[in-house]
Amino acid sequence: MAERREAFKMLFSANSAKVETNKGDAYYDRLFQQCRARLDELKASQPLQAIDFHEILSDEGYDRREFMKWASAATAMLMLPPMFTPLVAEAAELMTRVPVIWLELQDCAGNSEALLRSDGPKIDEILLDIISLEFHETLMAAAGHQADAQLEDAMHAFKGKYLLFVEGAIPMGMEGQYGTIGASGETFHEHLVRVAADAAAVVAVGSCATYGGIPAAAPNPTEAVGVMDVLKGKPIINIPACPANPANMVGVILHFVLTGQVPELDSLLRPKFAFGYRIHDNCERRAHFDAGEFVEEWGDEGAKNNFCLYKMGCKGPMTFNNCSIVRYNEGVNWPIGVGRGCIGCSEPDFWDKYAYERPMSDANIKAPTGGVEKTVDQFGLGVLTATAVGIGIHAAASAVAGKKSDEGEAQ
Amino acid sequence: MSKHIVIDPITRIEGHLRIEAVIDDNNTIVDAYSSSTMFRGIEEILKGRDPRDCGLLAMRICGVCTGTHYQRSIEAVEHAFGVTIPKNARLVRNLIQGALYVHDHVVHFYHLHALDWVDITKALEADPAKAVAEAQKWASVAGVAAWGDSESAYKAVQERLTKFVKQGRLGPFAKGYWGNKHYKLTPEQNLVAVSHYLEALDLQRDAAKMQAIFGGKNPHPQSIVVGGVTCVQDIQNPARIALFKNLLLKFRDFIKRAYLPDVYMAGTMYADEALDGTGGGLKNYLSYGDFRLDDTEFYKSALLFPSGIVVGGDISKVIPLDQGKIAEDVTHSWYEGAKPLHPYDGQTIPNYTGFGKKEGGIAYLDTEKKYSWIKSPIYDDTRMEVGPLARMVIGVAAKDERITKYVTNFLTRGKLPTSVLFSTVGRTAARAIETELMADVMVEWTDELAANVAAGDLSTWTEFDFNTVSKSAKGYGMAEAPRGALGHWVRIEEGKVANYQAIVPSTWNAGPRDYKGRMGAYESSLIGTKVADPEQPLEILRTIHSFDPCIACAVHLVDTKGRELGVYKVDSVCAI
């Protein structure tokens, strides 16, 4: 934990940061006031659960100092200056005020499983104390019409207030009938539209819900699409990756509680706090890339020495995500750590563009960033080009997203 | 006057499953139908790809038995290429799969299944001091000391739950069948079980971490490649292996001191259902066998779980498995076809006909015709059940020493006859027996890996010439997933996948009726069960959950005609 906290802090101030991390005192002062007002409003609202958060923390063996450390790390992860730490702590205490409804559509339950692995907060805290999880098919006790009734109740009781998490793609072929749910045989599409109608915001979690994911891979037999392709007129936050990192799921909820708004998003509606950097920017093997030291074959001397996996097909240079910082399963490992390159799972169409064990130079499809498509013999030149193009495209994307989010905040 | 019960969604499973059951005047189930209502078509997506990339995609068939499809897919390609992996790779794969088994079984028992046996609201009435005694009682049956259960710990859980219940919103526990008279545990027993539910919620993260140490992450690990594994730096680092072993030992402790005693507790309280064979179903069992114990080539090495067939619950003999006798029928599935075909010959023409009649806002399955996206697999013209129960039954029937020892030990300690295994309770017990066995054998494998690396063997990958071996090849990865027999079949031409098929455990178990009108394992297991309250079909959930359904997997077995599906229109009666 401590290492990861430090890593977040480094990220916040890293030179490689392509996200505008310092927006000036005036901006943060305004945001601070906004958050203050939001939290006061939430505090004054009827609590959903009569639970003393501090008591829970002490029951769980956390003292205030531990909790504030967590809050400080979370603040850094959300790319906010330290002055926000007390507000983030308050927001964490008010997370139960934001009910969550979680739908599973054309999915494999991988993101639900990832949520089960959450360590900050832990899943038992999420279920009982921290988040008001009103509906989640994989975890809930009720089935059949009682499950339907639970969904109806939650939608009614928290009209306009709930965050809707969606896992899985939406099959649009054959009038949506590749997936039905409930006794009435409602299609996934109808189900999503109905439940989203009264949501405060919709969080598409995992690559299927964001861009269609695996069912949408060529030839996309069921005409699967992501949430943003079918829902209009709702704030949508995309948390791609296969599966999405639970730290980012919690981060989005925390940000929503804190600000009452969706976080600043890039052009693909991904929160910049998590997707503002490429895997490559913070990769533990980056020095070997810069030094031209590569794994040339599985299990070779390079592999034994943690050399760069680019030649083995790593797509870290063109993939935006915070895995290289957050890692997985309480930070115990991540794909590049285990010697298998990044497959670009937080990028659109990655199954068709990136998910293979050969470098981009050998692929038929070029990376949208311009790619590290030069032969590896020219890697120095290739890297410079790719980095420049990558920055250019991302800067443009950020500018668009920044504009959107400025508009959002002005409202 | 019979009643028709529709349960959709079946929750606490992976995927989308609908069960319809018909009960007579005595509330006894006389007919049952199992339907999967979601389709993705992953085989079609795999066609034309590089066979080395299939594993990553095929793994996404399921996010729960994550990594098992990955390994089966990679093995199918290795089988096609004639590649035998090095010892380290075999051990690492065994450990990744083993971690999945223990993780999956514990999460299944506590988080997907327990609420069918445990009434959490009753736990509020328990006396925490008596709960300690209760936990000790069942731990002693299992021959262990009770899992860190103290009066204060139970009290804390109870207070936490009381606060949770008092606020009036039960969140994920809302609208369970609380108070149903078919819940049989005492308040203290419920408190013990709920406490372990929460403990297991926390501890399962460790089991997932084990998988991540050699797999990179969980769900969806990423270290298996055709020819071996990539995690050479993790196996050569003694701290990584030690961390794996520490997590394993801690989790094994929970398995032995909480999970097994809790299974004894539930099994004893629900012994009537076990003894009269409720939920037994087909009693025909199939296992492909799994966990290679030596480094000979595919399908020739010694196995932890033997392969074979047991028919009619007759454990006096095991029929050897012949993969050529596997066929799939589509009479009641949303595909066209005249007769059962082997997966290599499987011609699949989609024919979605939707639901049948619709009344009072409820759409009913058209059970006379087609009613599921799942096909009906048949072995030698017989319907089969697969899963931990099948593995344990076949292990005993095959007189496998290790499996027989664990099964006998479990039954002897619980003073239970072998016949209890052929029931819903037995299915749940067999999973627990297997979990203990797996946790123990994983300790041996971990030590074996450490010793092999210490002896200087760092080999993790077998070289092969892709351009030569991939010209024209076919192979299969037939082994076991936590839920049962899992097979991936691949045909490769000119370096590309020409055909890809998967038959998954839940296909065997959840398939609809076949061409002879015979039921699959889910359907068959429900017949004869009495439902105490048709408004709360607790008994149906209990039996269906005992199979650990994983339905998203089950619907990928077909190679569809892709977009042509779009031309099939549903009956106007259920067009919404």
Q: What is the DSSP secondary-structure string of A316-382?
A: GGG-B-SHHHH-BTTTTB-TTTTT-----TTSTTHHHHT-SSS-GGG-SSPPTT--S-S-GGGHHHH
Q: pLDDT at position B347, please?
A: 61
Mean pLDDT, range A399-411, rounded to an integer: 38
With CB atoms and an 8 Å threshold, state whether A139 touches B201.
Answer: no
Task: Provide the shortest C-alpha distance from residue A86 to chain B (in Å).
Answer: 26
Q: pLDDT at position B163, please?
A: 82
Q: Is B62 a catalytic residue?
A: yes
Scanning every residue of chain B, which has its alpha carbon at the shortest distance from the alpha carbon of A327?
A: B217
With CB atoms and an 8 Å threshold, state whether A141 touches B230.
Answer: no
Task: Provide the shortest C-alpha distance from residue B366 to chain A (in Å).
Answer: 12
In chain A, which residues have their Cβ closer than 8 Å to the Cβ of B175? 141-142, 146-147, 149-150
Mean pLDDT, range B88-98, rounded to an integer: 98
Q: Is B231 a catalytic residue?
A: no
Interatomic CA distance for residues B532 and B537, integer angstroms = 8
Task: Provide the shortest C-alpha distance from residue A403 to chain B (in Å).
Answer: 35
Scanning every residue of chain B, which has its alpha carbon at the shortest distance from the alpha carbon of A118?
A: B205
Q: For testing the chain A interface, which of B20, B60, B235, B539 should be mutated: the one with the most A CBs within 10 Å?
A: B60
- What are the tens digits of pLDDT across the range B447-469? 999 999 999 999 999 999 999 99
Q: Point out the least confidently predicted range of A84-93, B21-30, B277-286, B560-569.
A: B560-569
Q: For testing the chain B interface, which of A140, A293, A349 should be mutated: the one with the most B CBs within 10 Å?
A: A140
Closest CB from A133, A174, A335 relative to B171 = A133
Q: Point out the least confidently predicted range of A175-179, A199-203, A227-231, B167-171.
A: B167-171
pLDDT surpassing 60 at residue A394: no
Q: pLDDT at position A110, please?
A: 96
Task: Provide the shortest C-alpha distance from residue B344 to chain A (in Å).
Answer: 21
Mean pLDDT, all residues of chain A: 81
Using the Cα atoms of residue B551, residue B552, residue B557 and residue B562 in order, give the sign of their dihedral: positive
Q: pLDDT at position A60, please?
A: 53
Taking the Cβ of residue B8 and every Cβ of chain A, the question of whether any pair is shorter than 8 Å is answered with: yes
pLDDT surpassing 50 at residue A262: yes
Query: And the tokens for B448?
Result: 């074996």
CB pairs under 8 A between A and B: 326
Which pLDDT band, with edges at 50, 70 and 90, does B31 fall under? very high
Q: Is B574 a catalytic residue?
A: no
With CB atoms and an 8 Å threshold, state whether A338 touches B234.
Answer: yes
Q: Point out the least confidently predicted range of A116-120, A317-321, B430-434, B559-563.
A: B559-563
Query: And the tokens for B339?
Result: 């007769």
- Please provide the DSSP assignment of A85-100 as one string: HHHHHHHHHTGGGSEE
Q: Is B79 a catalytic residue?
A: no
Interatomic CA distance for residues B393 and B555, integer angstroms = 27
With CB atoms and an 8 Å threshold, state whether B172 touches A215.
Answer: no
Taking the Cβ of residue B360 and every Cβ of chain A, the question of whether any pair is shorter than 8 Å is answered with: no
Interface of B with A in 155-214 (CB under 8 A): 156, 160-161, 163-164, 166-167, 169-177, 198, 201-202, 204-205, 208-209, 211-214
Tokens 């059940």 locate to: B385
Q: pLDDT at position B509, please?
A: 97
Interatomic CA distance for residues B62 and B65, integer angstroms = 6
With CB atoms and an 8 Å threshold, state whether B11 touches A298.
Answer: no
Which pLDDT band, with edges at 50, 70 and 90, does A63 fall under? low
Continuous segment of H or E residues that includes residue B542: helix B538-546
Task: Provide the shortest C-alpha distance from residue A227 to chain B (in Å).
Answer: 16
**Reported ipTM:** 0.94
More confident call, A46 vs A179 = A179
Catalytic residue among B12, B62, B292, B546: B62
pLDDT surpassing 70 at residue A343: yes
Interface of B with A in 509-528 (CB under 8 A): none
Q: Point out the least confidently predicted range of A119-123, B198-202, B321-325, B371-375.
A: A119-123
User: Could you tell me if B383 and B376 are in contact, meaning their C-beta atoms sit under 8 angstroms apart?
Assistant: yes
pTM of the model: 0.90
Interatomic CA distance for residues B236 and B175, integer angstroms = 51
Query: And the tokens for A33?
Result: 């006031």
Interatomic CA distance for residues B289 and B304, integer angstroms = 8
Q: Is B73 a catalytic residue?
A: no
With CB atoms and an 8 Å threshold, state whether A51 touches B164.
Answer: yes
Question: Which DSSP symbol is given to A281?
Answer: G
Query: And the tokens for A7?
Result: 């890593």
* 3-class DSSP assignment, residue B382: strand
- What are the tens digits of pLDDT across the range B523-557? 999 999 999 999 999 999 999 999 999 987 775 44
Q: pLDDT at position A372, please?
A: 40
Helices within A102-261 (DSSP H only): 110-116, 123-125, 144-157, 188-196, 207-211, 227-230, 246-259
Which pLDDT band, with edges at 50, 70 and 90, does A19 fall under? low
Interface of B with A in 314-353 (CB under 8 A): 352
Task: Provide the shortest C-alpha distance from residue A410 to chain B (in Å).
Answer: 34
Taking the Cβ of residue B562 and every Cβ of chain A, the question of whether any pair is shorter than 8 Å is answered with: yes
Interatomic CA distance for residues A256 and A248, integer angstroms = 12
Taking the Cβ of residue B21 and every Cβ of chain A, the question of whether any pair is shorter than 8 Å is answered with: no
With CB atoms and an 8 Å threshold, state whether A333 touches B208.
Answer: no
Which of B461, B458, B449 has its CA nearest to residue B83? B461
Task: Provide the shortest C-alpha distance from residue B496 to chain A (in Å).
Answer: 13
Mean pLDDT, range B132-149, rounded to an integer: 96
Task: Provide the shortest C-alpha distance from residue A99 to chain B (in Å).
Answer: 9
User: Could you tell me if B474 and B342 are in contact, meaning their C-beta atoms sit under 8 angstroms apart?
Assistant: no
Q: pLDDT at position B576, please?
A: 21
Mean pLDDT, all residues of chain B: 92
Which pLDDT band, with edges at 50, 70 and 90, does A397 fall under? very low
Scanning every residue of chain B, which has its alpha carbon at the shortest distance from the alpha carbon of A295?
A: B230
Interatomic CA distance for residues B474 and B78, integer angstroms = 10
Which pLDDT band, with edges at 50, 70 and 90, does A127 fall under? confident
Q: Residues in chain B, how many?
A: 576
B9 cis-preceded (ω within 30 degrees of 0) = yes
In chain A, which residues have their Cβ closer than 8 Å to the Cβ of B216? 328, 333-338, 340
In chain A, which residues have their Cβ closer than 8 Å to the Cβ of B160? 56, 59, 128-129
Scanning every residue of chain B, which has its alpha carbon at the shortest distance from the alpha carbon of A187?
A: B576
In chain B, which residues have their Cβ closer than 8 Å to the Cβ of A173? 563, 565-566
With CB atoms and an 8 Å threshold, state whether A144 touches B9.
Answer: yes
More confident call, A81 vs B344 = A81
pLDDT surpassing 80 at residue B66: yes
Q: pLDDT at position A47, please?
A: 58
| Dihedral, B215, B218, B222, B228 alpha carbons, nearest 10 | 40
With CB atoms and an 8 Å threshold, state whether B167 touches A181.
Answer: no
Q: Is B506 a catalytic residue?
A: yes
With CB atoms and an 8 Å threshold, state whether A108 touches B60.
Answer: yes
Which of A382, A346, A159 has its CA nearest to residue A241? A346
Catalytic residue among B524, B545, B550, B556: B550
Q: pLDDT at position A359, please?
A: 76
With CB atoms and an 8 Å threshold, state whether B537 touches A243.
Answer: no
- Share above pLDDT 90 across residues of chain A, in percent, rounded to a whole number: 55
Q: pLDDT at position B566, please?
A: 25
Interface of B with A in 399-458 (CB under 8 A): 458
Interatomic CA distance for residues B455 and B449, integer angstroms = 10
Q: Point out the least confidently predicted range of A43-57, A109-123, B218-232, B272-286.
A: A43-57
With CB atoms and an 8 Å threshold, state whether A113 touches B66.
Answer: yes
In chain B, which residues have their Cβ closer than 8 Å to the Cβ of A171? 39-40
Interatomic CA distance for residues B462 and B459, integer angstroms = 8
In chain A, which residues have their Cβ closer than 8 Å to the Cβ of B157? none
pLDDT surpassing 90 at residue B565: no
With CB atoms and an 8 Å threshold, state whether A116 touches B9.
Answer: no
Q: Is B14 a catalytic residue?
A: yes
Q: pLDDT at position A341, please?
A: 95
Catalytic residue among B18, B69, B105, B542: B69
Give residue B411's identity as a one-letter amino acid code.
L
Interatomic CA distance for residues B502 and A286, integer angstroms = 38
pLDDT surpassing 50 at residue B499: yes
Mean pLDDT, range A170-198, rounded to an integer: 96
Task: Provide the shortest C-alpha distance from residue B192 to chain A (in Å).
Answer: 16
Q: pLDDT at position A21, please?
A: 65
Q: pLDDT at position B119, please?
A: 96
Q: pLDDT at position B417, please?
A: 92
Scanning every residue of chain A, which has its alpha carbon at the shortest distance from the alpha carbon of B373?
A: A178
